Structure 1
Amino acid sequence: MPWEQNAGPCVMAPPHLSEWARRAAAFLERQGMEDLIAFATSGSSGSPPKAVLFTRQALDICARGALEHLHAERGDWCCPLPVWHVGGAMIYLRAGLAGTAVHALEGKWNPRAYADLMKTSGARWSSLVPTQVVDLVNGEIQAPPGVRCIIVGGGALDMETGRRARALGWPVVQSYGMTESGSQLATALPDEPYHTDRLSILPHWELAADSLGRARFQGEGKLCGRLLTQDNGEFLLEHVPSRDWWTTCDLVRLEGRFLTFLRRADRLVKILGELVDPDAVQEALQRRAPGAVVEAAAHPRAGAELVACGPSAARLKEASREWNETAPGPQRIGSIMETPIPLTIMGKLDRAALRAMMREHPEKRERVDFPR
């Protein structure tokens, strides 16, 4: 890992932020934080970069917790994720602690090349983001024998795709986590049928819900601070005391040592005076139109309306009309927009870019007839 090779703070960032990362490392060194590791986070498109800070001991604790949770002390790992992302970096750290090897997928993501690498390397463990699993399923690519577990992070993998991946031999498991937790907080187990609820909390974490239902976590693997970039380009260091719990923006349900992610607390929108959850509507719509994305747009009368986006207008229109037949008025799809879904460099949905496309090209939106 880069932090094993270089003295001083190590800032892990994508190539287009290399100059920002150099400046961030110099700033942290001036603050006397030579032993910290920082991961740049994507945030919203166009927003100033920020980084989540860890001690090296904290990341070791996160890696050991994941190995213990999955019983992954034996067997090589395959890494199709960039090492500057916490998901990719933790693959190397887990393998290093277990004394096993990492086989990296070189170049751009290619599902067949990934499957070939898993086969030739004999790797038993790997991590993917949901869009990569979708590519494997759409390509009907069979998993090689001997694969033990594929951790899916960076977003929810829907039930249908997860089950299809399992049928192809890919032992995908849903995880829940974030950069601030050094990757995973809770992860399902590969011996269970594929599911996205009641994920098992990793052994090194304590979790609770605050009065609003948002997830809070505490443990020795937690972040120790954040490095924020101000509008003038200067850095602002935010310390996170070890005794403090970290509060997320995620609404969850906790049942003992099991966690179910419900939705983002900051995604609710008011339509016709009622709070509506676009993510819940999106989940329902995806059963009719896989890959569809639901976003809110301003509406002169209702305050906002839901827009279904995706590459096929015909499929979106049919699915939206079916949904609107039984949905309450505020939860109905008001219009559709045929468009490729923008993704971040990590293959995650880029909602900020999608909202910008909706604002800049209103003429691409097509009204959906409401049932009478």
Structure 2
Amino acid sequence: METLVKIGPEFWTDGSVCIAEAAPTAEGASLAAYAKHTLQAHDWCFFQTSGTEGARKWVGLTKESLRISARAVNTHFHITAQDHWLLALPTHHVGGFGILVRAHLSGSAITRLEGKWNARAFVQKCLETGATLASLVPTQIFDLVSAQLRAPESLRAVLVGGAALNAELEAAALGLGWQVHRTYAMTETGSTLAVQPQPGAELEVLPIWQASTDAESVLTVQGPALAQGYAIFEKGRWHWEPIPEEGLRTRDRVEISAAADGARFLRFIGREAGMVKILGELVSLSPIQDRIEALKLSLGVQHADAAVCDVPDSRKESRLVLVVSGINDDEATQMQKGLNETLRPFEQILDVRFVSAIPRSELGKVRLAELRALLHWRITPWEPSHPAE
């Protein structure tokens, strides 16, 4: 991990442009110059998106928008100076940086988990510091559950974001005493947009956000913590893509409902980019990936990595394959069988591909575009639609 950034009072009004990087790079220096001289940006922060597909973009957020987002989370979880954060996320991602902002505004203590992520070291540091709060990604929760590590009594809430936390893993974590709160967040919202009020509950949209959906259930968000836009480097130069005044149309499909008391709830359906068509049917890869993670636990193959991916099919338009790494033939067959027991007929996985490593982002998301490219050379036009038949 990178060196921890200390946030002091002067940070918010010194007029600086903060480029969130693990270490200084020429690209970051170039972006800072572009932001200052071309965008006339003052008191802004830029974070790279951590999405699963598409060109790299730098999201531009004002420092004030980051504070607004942090205040909303602090209010929701009643975070005060009596709390103690254990930081186990990189601060060059908005999820980790957001912890620094929340701690600064609340006056709560913060301790960084040094070195490479290790589940047992995390628990030990919790015990040593009496940490009350943490923010983790599902991969880290998976490691804690796989090692059957019980939550320290001091830890009252663990915010889980960066990717979807499947129901089986959530239940296993709760069974070990981990007070996990699923969150729905994105870089463009300066971190959290919706969160579970209590473990196991529905995701509640924080009051600072307006959320709406279109006819395809694609989410649009508006609010005071929303990013200003994207800085994109293409063809040797920077250009700016502002977020429209009417809000950010995301790539996510959700359902939004309202309670009698005015609270709004969000249920994630799937990501546009993770939607594929098979025999004319729309298939979301997200719940299948959730099932894969659950199967790894039940089959005892936590050491392995696995992902679902779509490949071209001359008859069905697309078909699904199971991509695995660090697993033997028998284990892969068990996982394939377990998946197919829950999939609809046109979703059945009849092909397993072995790779040396599955491309993932720093937060553990499968990089679908890279995985598709990795598999491309293995796919030939004449390959049968049903190789296992």
The normalised TM-score by structure 2 is 0.85
For residues 120-155 of structure 1, give each alpha carbon's deviation from its aligned partner in whole angstroms, at most 9, with x where no partner exists. Answer: 111101100111111111112222111011101011
Residue 329 (structure 1) shift:
3.5
Alignment of 1:297 with 2:311, yes or no, is yes
CA distance in 2, matches of 1:248, 1:324: 31
Residue 65 (structure 1) shift:
0.2
Alpha carbons 1:285, 1:320 under 8 Å: kept: no
Residue equivalent to 1:253: 255
Aligned with residue 211 of structure 2, among 202, 207, 210 = 207
Aligned with residue 119 of structure 1, among 104, 122, 127 = 127
Alpha carbons 2:166, 2:291 under 8 Å: kept: no
Residue 299 (structure 1) shift:
1.9
Alignment of 1:282 with 2:286, yes or no, is no
Residue 114 (structure 1) shift:
1.2
Alignment of 1:344 with 2:361, yes or no, is yes
Alpha carbons 2:145, 2:173 under 8 Å: kept: yes
Residue equivalent to 1:216: 220
Aligned with residue 235 of structure 1, among 223, 235, 238 = 238
For residues 192-251 of structure 1, give each alpha carbon's deviation from its aligned partner in whole angstroms, at most 9, with x where no partner exists. Answer: 4x35xx201112112111222111111111111211111x1211112235x422111100
CA distance in 2, matches of 1:274, 1:162: 29
Alignment of 1:110 with 2:118, yes or no, is yes
Letter in 1 for 2:150: Q
Residue equivalent to 1:225: 229
Going from structure 1 to structure 2, the CA distance change for 1:50 and 1:171 (only over 3 Å counts) comes to same
Residue 64 (structure 1) shift:
0.2
Going from structure 1 to structure 2, the CA distance change for 1:2 and 1:28 (only over 3 Å counts) comes to farther
Residue equivalent to 2:67: 60
For residues 30-64 of structure 1, give each alpha carbon's deviation from its aligned partner in whole angstroms, at most 9, with x where no partner exists. Answer: 0221221111223457x653211111111110000
Going from structure 1 to structure 2, the CA distance change for 1:284 and 1:116 (only over 3 Å counts) comes to closer
Going from structure 1 to structure 2, the CA distance change for 1:321 and 1:36 (only over 3 Å counts) comes to same
Q: Which secondary structure state, in structure 2, belongs to the residue aligned with residue 333 of structure 1?
A: coil
Letter in 2 for 1:33: A
Over aligned residue pairs, what C-alpha RMSD do you find?
2.6
Going from structure 1 to structure 2, the CA distance change for 1:116 and 1:284 (only over 3 Å counts) comes to closer
Alpha carbons 1:36, 1:56 under 8 Å: kept: yes
Going from structure 1 to structure 2, the CA distance change for 1:225 and 1:305 (only over 3 Å counts) comes to same
CA distance in 2, matches of 1:321, 1:42: 32
Alpha carbons 1:2, 1:10 under 8 Å: kept: no
For structure 2, the 5+ residue unaligned runs are 259-263, 298-304, 381-385
Say how many residue pairs are matched: 361
CA distance in 1, matches of 2:216, 2:166: 26
The normalised TM-score by structure 1 is 0.88
Alpha carbons 1:281, 1:331 under 8 Å: kept: no
For residues 92-122 of structure 1, give each alpha carbon's deviation from its aligned partner in whole angstroms, at most 9, with x where no partner exists. Answer: 1001100111101112111111111111111
Residue equivalent to 2:158: 150
Letter in 2 for 1:349: V
Letter in 1 for 2:220: R
CA distance in 2, matches of 1:111, 1:221: 32
For residues 62-98 of structure 1, give each alpha carbon's deviation from its aligned partner in whole angstroms, at most 9, with x where no partner exists. Answer: 0000011111224011111111110000001001100
Q: Larger deviation: 32-41 or 5-14?
A: 5-14
Percent identical among aligned pairs is 33
Residue equivalent to 1:334: 350
Residue equivalent to 1:163: 171
Q: Larger deviation: 328-337 or 103-112?
A: 328-337
Q: Larger deviation: 126-135 or 327-336?
A: 327-336
Residue 267 (structure 1) shift:
2.1
Residue equivalent to 1:321: 337
Alpha carbons 2:165, 2:290 under 8 Å: kept: no
